[in-house]
């Protein structure tokens, strides 16, 4: 067993909201020393919902785990100088701040010629865009929701931010690999709308629109192009059942004993239920066949009946049910630990989902308090003396720990 | 300008569906030589929707761009031997096939001691799970949809697969970095349910459920914890408007001239609209104030009025409207090229959204035909002679090119 998989990597992060913090956290939870700098008092995401009962941002705490935090007055020349010095020292920089002025790559690279920097933006031209404004443009909200519902429906999950954050971390590793082989630094640009629209293409939706000239209509909880639907159980719970592959389809027919009925449907309609397309075309009939079977059984009974059969299914859970009922979301799963969030309480925190056999699993580390590591970073990374650090404190250029919570929002 | 960012990396992929193919494509579109092997005739995802008018899978074509393809009879010892030899030669292996038997890490590592392998699974215990069955468990479908709608609503985007595929590519790079520094190989495990539940935690939802004891109810297209909503325009289009930050809120008030009305609302209700929480609490009032403004203007007029103001907004588009109306999804954006898909036609294909300044942008390369590179891979990577390759063809162990399309689904 050796040390962390990203041993020896240091990354400075200047960020807010989801994508950039998630990218930094992905690196930090895999062993990189990630230093997030923030404006004293907190950045734009310091009060973002969800909030703890005491007002602290659980969002901020969730997306900054395992990092170190330094609080600087970024409106002062001295504060910017400290951030620039940290970036030069680390040699890697992740940001969704505008990459211009003192944060322009070429300015930062004057102090560190082989700097690797990833600059996240909303659109390729640098204009702003957030997940909640780019998602409507992708087409997915018009394909989401009950049949014949006349309005677009947004996703509650900021999926494009999630994809972008992970891709930013990938880009940093790719550029660091290149640097290790060539000595060359790198500016990486990544736009949220590009992440989203590329994925629309990757999933075949652009080609379908161009070649087929039609849009997938809203189709409730049906799977597109195969069989999948939700069902209500006798005890009022819901579950999703999917038959993508032939094996899953046979397992579902076996477990629910609908083989004969399916054969009759094939005779009656001409649909070929042995193909994905046939099962999609016959989805209303298959659903109607299956509904009474689920309505006659409790969720727990169905769980037992499906265990080991190869049926592809899963229960619907609220966030609370996930935490209360699902053993995969508990300390029985080494992904999670029960960790103390100072001033807020204990709760389940996830580490990195990646498990590397030849290195030790990183313990789950909470997010820092804002400015929790200001002094140690100034001392250890920049080599400043206690006297100099004291002067910076007194001058309001740096600040120590503060609890994440409601900020004045007066930016 | 030098060569591709992942120059010199070769990865073998044994995969189906979204996550593993997307992980391999992320590597391939950034310059790695990614060799996907498939059963002759195509794997489980070879006929997956969406389909082209001629029946070919646009899904398969979308998720396997820039790779090379070899078709093998994986039910034969000789076919498995060829796949194992390719894995040993490449030294990196990405799969969502069960990592046991001939695909167990320890078996493969006998031929390549420093093998880096990422094994994707549905659940941490290795049992099966797909995006459509794990998403119901996350809590998001119960938080999605119109207010008071009594059923869970699924996402049409397989967001967990997307996150997992990108994270798998990140994991491979992290392990290759570790190998370059220590000489040590690596088995990486990654489970879809862990990816999903970790993200539920990262976004603060687990802590909120545990500490607050409540679930976010369905709230239509409102943003959670700040102001954001959709509006209909005079010409029947829809758009999303967001005010997360103070700057966005002021810009929105300026552009729609609701400053005075907002001040009156504050007086009347006590909500403090200068905070994110206050804007969230007053969201119905703000929406009611804004609705007539949007209803009185066409989308094109609103686009002009908002340009350069700092208002955060975006139009809803269907997939077709994205392709037809949005310049970001066209060859005006270097992300996209108009590429020929043999036997299907030309359509817009995305490359990697990552742009690296110090290397040349990779051209957009289409997905291979199934088995398109069988012969060249056997010759160049494994060093087989034409005679031996001919024998393998004749014995049905390998096969050459076939168009992606409907397969018998007889697995």
Question: Is the pLDDT confidence value at B116 over 90?
Answer: yes
**Calpha distance B355→B374 (Å, rounded):** 31
Which candidate from B51, B133, B409 shows the least CB-CB separation from A274?
Answer: B409
Instruction: Quickly count helices (H) and strands (E) in chain B.
Output: 16, 13
Mean predicted confidence (pLDDT) in A224-252: 97
Kindly identify which residue of chain B lies nearest to residue A3, measuring between CA atoms. Answer: B178
Assign B410 a pLDDT band (cuts: 50, 70, 90). very low
Mean predicted confidence (pLDDT) in A376-402: 96
Mean predicted confidence (pLDDT) in B167-193: 98
Question: Is the pLDDT confidence value at A146 over 90?
Answer: yes
- Tell me, what's the pLDDT at B409? 40
Which of B59, B307, B318, B346 is best to mutate for the A interface (most A CBs within 10 A)? Answer: B318
CB B283 within 8 A of CB B224: no
CB B70 within 8 A of CB B377: yes
Assign A408 a pLDDT band (cuts: 50, 70, 90). very low
Assign B411 a pLDDT band (cuts: 50, 70, 90). very low
Assign A407 a pLDDT band (cuts: 50, 70, 90). very low
What number of other Cβ atoms are within 10 A of residue B324's Cβ? 13
Chain B residue numbers with beta carbons less than 8 Å from the beta carbon of A44 are 244-245
**Calpha distance A37→A13 (Å, rounded):** 6
- Tell me, what's the pLDDT at A406? 43
Mean predicted confidence (pLDDT) in A355-383: 97
- B213 to chain A, minimum CA–CA distance in Å? 7
Helix (H) or strand (E) holding B111: none
Q: Specify burial of residue A401 (Cβ count, 10 A radius: 0-12, 13-18, 19+).
A: middle
- Tell me, what's the pLDDT at A411? 35
Q: Which two tokens stand for residue B228?
A: 């954001």
Q: Which two tokens stand for residue A57?
A: 């941002």
Assign B295 a pLDDT band (cuts: 50, 70, 90). very high
Q: How many alpha carbons lie under 13 Å from residue A277 in its C-beta half-sphere?
A: 16
**Calpha distance A49→A162 (Å, rounded):** 17
Question: Is the pLDDT confidence value at A2 over 80?
Answer: no
Mean predicted confidence (pLDDT) in A356-381: 97
pLDDT: which is higher, B213 or B131? B131
Chain B residue numbers with beta carbons less than 8 Å from the beta carbon of A57 are 204
What pLDDT, in 10s, does the model give residues B66-89? 999 999 999 999 999 999 999 999
Would the CB atoms of B317 and A8 count as touching at under 8 Å?
Answer: no
The CA angle A139-A143-A149, to the nearest 5 degrees, is 130
**Calpha distance A376→A67 (Å, rounded):** 13
Residues of A belonging to the active site: 161
Assign A215 a pLDDT band (cuts: 50, 70, 90). confident
- Tell me, what's the pLDDT at A273? 97
Characterize the bridge pairing of strands A312-315 and B238-243: unpaired
Q: Which two tokens stand for residue A164?
A: 């972008």
Q: Which two tokens stand for residue A245?
A: 């592959």
Kindly identify which residue of chain B lies nearest to residue A335, measuring between CA atoms. Answer: B194
Q: Which two tokens stand for residue B393?
A: 């063809």
Q: Compute CA distances B41 → B47, B68, B79, B96, B288, whole Å.
A: 10, 16, 14, 19, 57
Would the CB atoms of B47 and A276 count as touching at under 8 Å?
Answer: yes
Number of Cβ pairs < 8 A linking chain A and chain B: 563
Q: Specify burial of residue B293 (Cβ count, 10 A radius: 0-12, 13-18, 19+).
A: middle
**Of all residues in chain A, what percent carry a pLDDT higher than 70?**
97
Question: Is the pLDDT confidence value at A86 over 70?
Answer: yes
What pLDDT, in 10s, does the model give residues B210-260? 998 778 899 999 999 999 999 999 999 999 999 999 999 999 999 999 999
Which candidate from A18, A208, A350 shows the least CB-CB separation from B197?
Answer: A350
Q: Specify burial of residue A300 (Cβ count, 10 A radius: 0-12, 13-18, 19+).
A: exposed
Q: How far apart are the first and last CA of chain B?
A: 47
Chain A residue numbers with beta carbons less than 8 Å from the beta carbon of B341 are 207
- Tell me, what's the pLDDT at B408? 40
**Calpha distance B378→B388 (Å, rounded):** 9
Helix (H) or strand (E) holding A89: helix A77-90
Buried residues in B343-355 as b, exposed as e (16+ CB within 10 A): ebeebbbbbbbbb
What pLDDT, in 10s, does the model give residues B47-57? 999 999 999 99
Would the CB atoms of B320 and A213 count as touching at under 8 Å?
Answer: yes
Would the CB atoms of B205 and A48 count as touching at under 8 Å?
Answer: no
Helix (H) or strand (E) holding A383: none
Mean predicted confidence (pLDDT) in A241-254: 97
CB A405 within 8 A of CB A54: yes
- Tell me, what's the pLDDT at B403? 55
Mean pLDDT of chain B: 95
Mean predicted confidence (pLDDT) in A214-232: 94
Characterize the bridge pairing of strands B68-72 and B398-399: antiparallel
What pLDDT, in 10s, does the model give residues A284-340? 999 999 999 999 999 999 999 999 999 999 999 999 999 999 999 999 999 999 999
Q: Which of A104-108, B34-38, B400-404 has the lowest mean pLDDT?
A: B400-404
């Amino acid at each position: 067993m050796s040390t962390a998989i990203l041993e020896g990597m240091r990354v400075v992060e200047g960020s807010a909201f989801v994508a950039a913090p998630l990218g930094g956290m992905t690196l930090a939870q895999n062993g990189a020393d990630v230093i997030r700098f923030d404006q004293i008092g907190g950045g734009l995401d310091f009060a973002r919902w969800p909030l703890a009962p005491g007002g602290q941002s659980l969002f901020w705490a969730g997306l900054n785990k395992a990092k170190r935090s330094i609080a600087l007055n970024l409106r002062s020349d001295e504060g910017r100088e400290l951030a620039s010095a940290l970036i030069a020292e680390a040699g890697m920089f992740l940001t969704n701040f505008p990459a211009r002025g003192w944060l322009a790559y070429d300015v930062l690279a004057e102090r560190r010629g082989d700097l690797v920097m990833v600059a996240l933006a909303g659109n390729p031209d640098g204009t702003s865009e957030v997940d909640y404004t780019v998602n409507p443009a992708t087409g997915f909200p018009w394909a989401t929701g009950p049949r014949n519902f006349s309005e677009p429906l947004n996703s509650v999950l900021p999926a494009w931010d999630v994809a972008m954050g992970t891709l930013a971390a990938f880009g940093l590793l790719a550029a660091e690999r290149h640097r290790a082989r060539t000595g060359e630094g790198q500016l990486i640009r990544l736009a949220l709308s590009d992440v989203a629209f590329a994925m629309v293409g990757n999933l075949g939706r652009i080609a379908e629109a161009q070649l087929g000239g039609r849009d997938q209509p809203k189709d409730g909880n049906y799977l597109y192009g195969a069989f999948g639907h939700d069902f209500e159980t006798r005890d009022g719970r819901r579950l999703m059942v999917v038959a993508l592959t032939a094996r899953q389809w046979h397992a579902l027919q076996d477990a629910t004993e609908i083989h004969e009925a399916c054969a009759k449907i094939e005779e009656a309609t001409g649909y070929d239920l042995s193909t994905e397309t046939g099962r999609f075309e016959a989805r209303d009939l298959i659903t109607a066949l299956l509904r009474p079977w689920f309505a006659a059984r409790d969720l727990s009974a169905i769980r037992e009946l499906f265990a080991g059969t190869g049926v592809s299914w899963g229960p619907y859970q609220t966030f609370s049910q996930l935490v209360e009922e699902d053993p995969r979301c508990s300390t029985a799963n080494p992904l999670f630990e029960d960790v103390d969030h100072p001033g807020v309480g204990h709760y389940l925190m996830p580490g990195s989902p990646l498990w590397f056999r030849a290195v030790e699993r990183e313990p789950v580390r909470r997010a820092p308090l804002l400015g929790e590591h200001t002094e140690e970073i100034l001392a250890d990374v920049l080599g400043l003396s206690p006297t100099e650090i004291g002067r910076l404190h007194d001058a309001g250029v740096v600040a120590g720990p503060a609890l994440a919570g409601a900020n004045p929002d007066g930016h």
